[in-house]
Structure formats: structure tokens, C-alpha cells
Amino acid sequence: MLQLILGGARSGKSRLAEKLAADTRLPVTYIATSQPIDGEMNQRVAQHRARRPAEWALVEEPLALAQALRENAATDRCLLVDCLTLWLTNLLMLDDPEWLIAEREALLDCISALPGEVIFVSNETGMGVVPLGELTRRYVDEAGWLHQALAERCQRVVLTVAGLPLTLKGTAL
């Protein structure tokens, strides 16, 4: 099953995804897309690490997400990807639009054929203030298009607000 968990900052989306991954009772591989390049991001990463079970495998991949998914997916495994908007930001910061297009297409092309359980976590950014700068407008647009394409392919899509899940597609939680 493919699942997409959306929500704003500190909405409880990662915590929900971690619970859903644990509930599968499968070995879990956590695919982290962040690049902890400052103190605040290091603190966020530490909080996520402290919350995860020690037996979960970890793959850190900030750019080549489709490749990481293909290499780690298995019928007897759950992959948890946290988070797609950080991955998107990493690609946007490369100043190479072709790399972003290629990686997004690789992701969308591979996910339907992945075996096992896959849970994607992403920030819903399209419900906030319209950004003023070109890069932030592009980020919001790219995230919105990515979420639409993923939601189309996923069996379950959940919006998380204040720690409460609202199922938008698929079986309710």
C-alpha cells in the first residue's frame, strides 16, 4: 500500500506516519531526506531519531529518492519517507531545473511498482500565505503538483491537523 500523510508544520504528520509504520509489524526502513546543515535542523533530526525505534533501519538520501526506494523496497518491509518537501527543497536549491524534473519523474514512475508498504510524509504548504519571492512561489507550486500526482497514485491520503488525522482518500484510520 502507498500512503501519503500531509500536514502543516508540527501537525503530527511524522508521528502518525511512524505509528502507521509500526502498526504494519514489518521491518521499517526510514528514508530521511533532510540535510541537517544548521543547529535548528540538527535539533529536529535529533528529536525524530529519539522517537524512532532503535531497530528501524535508516537511509539518508537528500536527492536520489526513487533510487533509494527501489533499492530498499521489499514485500516484507515498510518504507517511511520523511519528508517530501525537504527533498523537493534540496532539489530546488541545486539551481538545475532538469535535475528536479528528472528526480520527480523517477519518483512518480517507480512508486506504483514498489513492493511492500510505503508511507510518504510531506508538508502541506498550499493552505498558507502566498509567498512573495520567486523561489518560494516555485516551491509552493512544485509541492502542490507533487502532492496531486502522489495522491492520485496512493491508496490512502491523510491530512493531519493538530495531531488529528482526516482521511481524504482510502480507508479511514
Residue of 15, 44, 48, 169 with catalytic role: 48
Report residue 150: phi and psi, to 5°. -70, -45
E runs forming strands in 91-148: 117-123
Q: Is 52 left (phi over 0), alpha (psi -120 to 50) or beta?
A: beta
User: Does residue 129 surpass a pLDDT of 90?
Assistant: no
Helix (H) / strand (E) containing 70: helix 65-72
Lowest-confidence range among 1-5, 128-132, 143-147?
A: 128-132
- Annotated active-site residue 147? The verdict is no
The whole-model pTM stands at: 0.94
CA distance 87 to 107: 11
